[in-house]
Structure 1
Amino acid sequence: MGSLIAEEARLAEDIGAFIEATAPALLDERQERAAWGGGAFNALALRLFEYQYQASPAYAEYCQRRAVSPEHIAHWREIPPVASSELQYFSPAAALGKGLRGQPLKQHQLYLYLTALMPNLRAHLLPDLTEHDRLRIITVARDPEPDTEAVLVFSAIALRFADSDSASYTNNHLGVAAALSKAEAIGEQVCLMGHAHALAQFAEHCRSVGLSFRLNPRSRLLFSGGLERERERMYALFERVFGINRLWCVRMYSPAPGGSQFYDTALRLRACGREVSADSDYLCGPPWVRVFIRSQAGGSRLPETKSGYVTVCDLSNFSNLMVVQSADLAHPLPPTSGGRERFALI
C-alpha cells in the first residue's frame, strides 16, 4: 500500500506538470500539434491506468474479465471504458470509501482537479481577460441544485474573477433582474451563469412581464445542461431577453463525474484570431483529454458521420476513472490540423 500511495503522489505531480505545460496550446494553435501529439499523454495514461487498476480491486476484476491488464497493453485505446452510470462500483475513490461526489479529496487530487479546470475554462469563457481583470458575475441558482459539477465550475470562476458586486441568486428572479438592471445602467460587462433550465426559466419570466436588458456587448453567458434539440430556441430567448448574442453563450458539457469539462469554442476561436461561423458549433477538449465516439453496440472508434457514445480518456479524472463512456450521443468531426478531436452532441 505504501508504494501505491507514493506512486499516487508522484503521478498526480507528473500529470499536473503535463497539464501546465500543454495548457498554453488552448489559446495558441501553433502549439496544438506538440500538445496533442507525441508520447507523453500515452505514457501518463498507462501509468494512471496501472494506479487505478491497483487501487480498485473491482476495477481490476472488470478489466480482467475483458482480458486487459497493465502489463499487457501498450496504448490508452486498449483500456476498457466504464459507463459513467457505473463509476460508483469501480472507481478508486469508491474503493477507498470517498464516494464520487461531495467528499473531501486529498490535497494533491484537489490540486490536480483545479489545475485542469481553470485554464480550460478561461480559454473558452474568458480568453480576453487578464489575471488582474474582474467582471460582474451573476449566478442564477436553484435549490436544490442537481448539477454538482456545474456548481464547482461556477464557484471556481467566481472566486477567481468576480468583482465586489457579483452575487448568486437562488430561486430569486427579482434579485437577478435588479442586478442585471444595475449592470445595464452603468454599462458593466456581465457574465451570467447557471443551469440551462434555471436561466431559461428566468428569461421566460422576464418575457412574460415585458422585461428585457441590453447588456454590455462583451457580456457572456455560461450554462450547463439542457436538451440539445432546445438549444437554438434557448439561444434566441437569451438574445431577446439579455441582449447576449449566441456566439457569446458558452455551453459546458461534463461527460464524467470529477473530470474535465468541454465547452463551446466560439470565444476561444475568436481569441485565436479565427473566423467564427455556424461551422464552429462543436465541442473539443483540452490536451490532457482524448475523446472518441464508440458505437452504441460498444464497438471501437467510429468513422466520421456515424453517431455513438462520447467516451473520454481524461488524465485529470484521477480519483474516479480515466476512461469513461458517457450516456450522451454525438457525431465525430474531423480533427483540427493540430490533431485536436472534435464532436457535436446529438
Structure 2
Amino acid sequence: VSNAFASLARALGTAFRESPGEPWSDDVFESWARRVFTYQLETNPVYAAYVRKRGVTPSNVAHWSEIPWVPASAFKAVPLVSGDPSQVERIFQTSGTTGVGRRGEHHVLDLGLYEDSLIPNMMRHLYTGGPDGPDGQDRPDGDSPTRPMLALAPAPADVPESSLSFMLGAALDGLSGGQGGFFVTRDGVIDTAGLSEVLVEAASRGTPLLLAGTAFAFVHWLDWLKEHSAGFDLPQGSLIMETGGFKGRSRVLERPEFYASLSETHGVPFEAIVNEYGMTELLSQFYDGPVAAVSGMDLEGRRHVPPPWVRTRVLDPNTLSAVPMGEPGLLCHYDLANAGSVMAVLTEDQGVAVEDGFRVLGRVQGAEPRGCSLAMDDLLSGVRS
C-alpha cells in the first residue's frame, strides 16, 4: 500500500475508533470528505476522469454534498481503486442475487481500515452495555463485552469473496473473543445439529449471545424449527441480527411475520431483533437496533443510524437532487471508509431521511433511473478514452 494511502487509512482508522458513537460536526465531516475526495482524484484515474467530465474540481466544490457520486452499478463495470491495483488485499463480490450478469466487485486496499470501521460501529450497536446498549445494563469502564456470536453464514475462509462473512469473522475474533462460530457451509447448508447443540449449552450457561445471519438463512432455520416442532429460549439479553433481505429469492416473508417467528422461536422481544443494512460497495454499515431506540413491535418507526463517518442523502430518482426530509428517494451514501475506492455511492435502494438516520423502503423496481445511466456513460467513457 502506498505511503499516501497508508497515512490516510491510519488517520481515518484512528478517527473511527475514537468516536464510534459521538456525532461528527459538519465541519469535521467536511474536512475529512475533502481530504478523501482530493486523494481519490489523485489516485483513481477512472474516477478522476469521470469527475473532470462533470466539470468538478476540489476548488469548485462548496460543500461535501457536491462531491460526485458513482452509481452502485459502477462496481460491476470497472475496478474502482484509489491507489495501486496490485496492492489490493481482497476483492469482495456482491451476492449476485439481483439478476443475471456480472457481480459487483469492491477492491479493498486495506482490510484493517474495514475493521476500523466495522468493529467500533458493531460494538456500539450490538455489544456495548449502558442505558442505550443492547442489554440495557451499565458495565464498568474498561470492561470489554464478550458476547458469543453464532453466525448463520459461511465462515470467511470458505467464502473469502463475502464482505458479510469477513465482517462477522472480524466481530467473532475482535468482539466475541473467539467464542461462537459459523453454522452454514459454503454451499449454504445450515448445520442444524451443531447450532442446536450450542444453543442448548448457551441456555444452560445463561450468557447473552448474538445470533447473526442473513434473513434468508434465518428463514431456512425457522422452517427447520417448525418442521421439528423445536425452539430455543436464548439467554436474557441476547440479540438477533439479521441482514440481506430476500432480494432475488423465491420466498419472501414480510418483516412483521418474520420478526414474530424469530421472537416466538427464540424467546426474545422484538426490540432485541436488529436489522443491519449494508452492501458490498460500502465498507460501513447501518443498524436499526437498540441504540436507535426502537420501541417494541413498532417496526415502521425504526430507523437506520449511520456511523459518524458516513453522511446519507436522499435524491429524487428523476432529477437526482435532494428531496425534503420525509420524502422518498434514492439513498446516496458518502462513506469515508471507502477511501480506497470511491467515497460517494448512489444506491438502488429507496428510503426517506428522518432525524439521525433514514428508513429503507426497498429496492428500486424497473429500469435504472436515467441519471444513473448517464453517470455510467460518463464513467465508462473515461475508461475508454
TM bucket (normalised to shorter chain) is 0.7 to 0.9
Q: Which moved more, 1:292-301 or 1:14-23?
A: 14-23
Matched with 1:330 is 351
The 5-angstrom pairing of residues 24-39 of structure 1 reads 24-25=21-22, 32=23, 35=24, 37-39=25-27
Give unpaired runs (5+ residues) of structure 1.
26-31
> What's the CA shift for 1:223?
1.7
- 1:264 is matched with which residue? 288
> What residue number does 1:42 align with?
30
User: In the alignment, which residue of structure 1 is the partner of 2:342?
Assistant: 321
Separation in structure 2 between the aligned mates of residue 263 and residue 196 of structure 1, nearest angstrom: 14
Taking structure 1 as the reference length, the TM-score comes to 0.83
CA pair 77-113 structure 1, distance change in 2 beyond 3 A: same
2:292 aligned with 1:304: no
Counterpart in the other structure of 2:152: 140
Gaps of 5+ in 2: 94-105, 130-138, 248-252, 363-385
Aligned to 1:69: 57
CA distance in 2, matches of 1:146, 1:200: 24
Judging changes above 3 Å, is the alpha-carbon distance between structure 1 residues 20 and 158 closer, same or farther for their aligned structure 2 residues? Answer: closer
Please say if residues 209 and 238 of structure 2, whose CA atoms lie closer than 8 Å, have aligned partners that are also in contact: yes
Residues 320-345 of structure 1 deviation map (CA, whole Å, 9 limit, x = unaligned)? 11000111111222x2xxxx343333
Match of 2:211 in 1: 192
Q: CA 1:49–1:56 in structure 2 vs 1: closer, same or farther (change >3 Å)?
A: same
The CA distance in 1 between the partners of 2:274 and 2:349, in whole Å, is: 18
SS in 2 for 1:296: coil
Q: Deviations over 1:51-94 (max 9, x none)?
A: 11121211111112211122321321111111112135262259
Secondary structure of the corresponding residue to residue 316 of structure 1: helix
Matching residue of 1:115? 116
How many percent of aligned residue pairs carry the same amino acid? 24
| Structure-2 residue corresponding to 1:29 | none
List 4+ stretches of structure 1 deviating above 4 A.
102-106, 142-147, 274-277
Which of the two has greater helix per residue? 1
Query: Which stretch has the larger CA shift, 238-247 or 276-285?
Result: 276-285
In the alignment of these two chains, the number of paired residues is 323
1:48/1:322 contact within 8 Å kept: yes
Aligned: 1:91 with 2:107: no
Higher alpha-carbon deviation: 42-51 or 165-174:
165-174
Q: Distance in 1 between matches of 2:83 and 2:348?
A: 20
The answer to whether the 8 A contact 1:221-1:248 is kept is: yes
Distance in 2 (CA, whole Å) between partners of 1:207 and 1:147 is 32
Measure the CA separation in 2 of the matches of 1:164 and 1:291.
33
Partners of 1:186 and 1:46 in 2: how far apart? Answer: 50
Q: 1:234 aligns to what?
A: 258
Structure 2 equivalent of residue 253 of structure 1: 277
Instruction: Say what the alpha-carbon RMSD is for the aligned residues.
Output: 2.9
Deviations 1:255-297 (A, max 9, x none): 45242000113x2246xxx977736511020111000111112
Tell me, in whole angstroms, the C-alpha distance in 1 between the residues paired with 2:207 and 2:128.
18
Change (3 A) 1:322 1:100: farther
Q: Deviations over 1:162-205 (max 9, x none)?
A: 36762221221121112112222333322111111111211121
